[in-house]
Amino acid sequence: MIFKQLIPLTILLLVSGCQDDYKDDGSSCGDLSSYSYEFDITNISLEVLIAQEEKSYASLLFGEIYQANSDIIYSDIVFSLDSETKFVAIDSQKTKDKGQHQKINFTLISSAHACSLIPPSTNEKIVDIKITSSYAFNSSIAAGESLKSKFKVVFAESQTPFYQYQDGIIEYFSLTQYLEQEEVYAGNIMQLKLIESPEFAGSHIFFIEFTLDTGEVFLLETPEISFTKA
């Protein structure tokens, strides 16, 4: 999991070798202003982690993978949604000339021969994230009913904000609040945590339906999580 999370950063380092658009042999890399680099999300995987305590600043949370049916307090776990991506390069100048999109496979290149490139991103946006459970969460939320309001976004690697500072203290957006923003861009990683403990002790399997504006829908499922009272 940690290796996969470091891939985007590794790619950015590899493609940022020549800051002045020249190769190490002195030859010009050409005008890169007409090129931009993007990635497409092809799949999303889900891991439940035993998380470190939340920090006073926003950052990716690391932890061991939760083992099914192990007793745990709700505040000690994080749902980590990891995007599997395919990188592409878009020649915007040729797109203008030909009036059509032309995608080129994005390949890693040696930093010794690399030129400054625009960091990869995606234009894909999140339409909705639905979360339900196999077991009643409390007396008001039965099995299969929406749990969106019971989660907060503690990390999102995208262009969309997921927190604000209130009186100098970081305040994470609830998943509902996060999704209500005007544009919610997808990204490499999103991490969610429960806001409160389930009212009833017992085992839950959570189901997540992740929908993009491209029409793609990813269905995710956690292992059986056994909650104890905090």
User: How confident is the model at residue 230, as a pLDDT?
Assistant: 63
pLDDT value of position 177: 96
Residue 7 has pLDDT above 50, yes or no: no
Q: What is the pLDDT of residue 51?
A: 85
> With 50 as the cut, is the pLDDT of residue 47 above it?
yes
Neighbours of 51 (CB within 10 A): 20
Please name the amino acid found at residue 128: D
**What local confidence, expressed as pLDDT, does residue 134 receive?**
95
Across the range 141-150, mean pLDDT stands at 96
Average pLDDT over every residue of 96-118: 42
Q: What are the tokens at 207?
A: 């189901």
Q: What is the mean pLDDT of residues 59-83?
A: 91
Instruction: Tell me which residue of 191, 172, 189, 186 sits closest to 214, measured CA to CA.
Output: 186
Return the pLDDT at 41.
Answer: 87
Percent of the chain with pLDDT over 70: 67
Q: Which two tokens stand for residue 134?
A: 């196999």
Collect all residues with Cβ–Cβ distance below 8 Å to 49 and sequence separation of at least 6.
1, 61, 62, 63, 64, 65, 66, 77, 78, 79, 80
What single-letter DSSP state applies at residue 113? G
State the pLDDT at residue 37. Answer: 65
- How far, in whole angstroms, is CA 201 from its chain's centroid? 29
Please compute the mean of the pLDDT values over residues 139-150 and round it to a whole number: 95
Q: Tens digit of pLDDT for each residue in 149-206?
A: 999 999 998 889 999 988 888 999 999 999 999 999 998 899 999 999 999 878 999 9
SS3 assignment for 54-90:
CCCCCCCCCEEECCCCCEEEHHHEEEEEEEEEEEEEE
Mapping DSSP to helix (H, G, I), strand (E, B) and coil, where does residue 98 land? helix
- Our CA angle for 33, 36, 38, nearest 5°, is 170
* Radius of gyration of the chain, Cα coordinates, nearest whole angstrom: 21
